[in-house]
Amino acid sequence: MKKQIGEQITLFVCAVLLLSGCATTGNPKDPIEGFNRAVFGFNDALDQVVVRPVATGYDAVLPSPVKNGVANFFGNVADVFIAVNNLLQGKVPEAAGDAGRFVVNSTVGILGLFDVATDLGLEKHDEDFGQTFGRWGVGNGAYVVVPFFGPRTARDAVALVLDVKTDPVANVGHIPTRNTLLAVRVVSDRANLLPADKVIEEAALDKYSYIRDGYLQRRRNLIHDGNAPREQDD
């Protein structure tokens, strides 16, 4: 199953790269906009019907300490993956910090349920293979909306294959446990985003392009670790 996910994404990315040769709609950052809008519609529908209702229930039923514990647990697992990516980017002190976070939170923080490391001054980072490739100089490429996963750039979509392959949760050997963990993580992540729904609804003239442009700005910022030069004001 894990292998399948990786292969499916690879296939998808190849198909998109082929497609991007033909369809164009004006915006140079989003040459396959028609296709992307279709996938965005699919993801959005799936969210409305399944993911959001479950996340809303989760958010309403569980007390905050439990929800924070769950978010911290997955955040702790991710720190290993983040350490690897920081190392690949040559950011050794950051990687050491991530490793330190994992050790402290897994022990003192009781299997990662409590984020003690942040209180101790070990800052949490946000890294993935897409950022690593960006750091290495690989350009964004076209904007792509990936089924189930959402917005990516072509570079990030390729990197997603590696993200999934090296994701500690996706590599849990016991399949029912792995699937449960994956599902809980999706729900927990989505529940954290619930407040965003209403605001985006309020803010966006066109939800598709609002999310696209937000994603592209955010990725640019992350690759520069928060110090991206400002776009031209004109």
Long-range contacts of 137-140 (CB under 8 A, 24+ apart): 140/29, 140/216, 140/219
Stretch that binds another protein, among 34-42, 154-162, 176-184, 206-214 (CB under 8 A): 206-214
Stretch that binds another protein, among 1-9, 87-95, 172-180, 209-217 (CB under 8 A): 209-217
Beta carbon of residue 221, minimum distance to another protein (angstroms, whole number): 2
Q: What angle do CA 198, 201, 207 make, to 5 degrees?
A: 140
Q: Among all chains, which residue has been given the structure tokens 């989505």?
A: 190
Tokens of 2: 């894990």
| Interaction of residue 162 with another protein, rule CB under 8 A | no
How far from each other are the two terminal CA atoms of the chain, in whole angstroms? 49
Residue 150 CB partners (closer than 8 Å, separation 6+)? 43
**2, 124, 165, 178: which one binds another protein (CB under 8 A):** 124
In whole angstroms, give the CA distance from residue 135 to residue 15: 26
Stretch that binds another protein, among 85-93, 95-103, 161-169, 202-210 (CB under 8 A): 202-210
Beta carbon of residue 176, minimum distance to another protein (angstroms, whole number): 26
Using CB under 8 A, list all residues that contact another protein.
26-27, 67-68, 71-72, 75, 115, 123-126, 150-151, 189, 192-193, 195-196, 198-200, 202-206, 209-215, 217-218, 220-222, 224, 226, 228, 230-231, 233-234
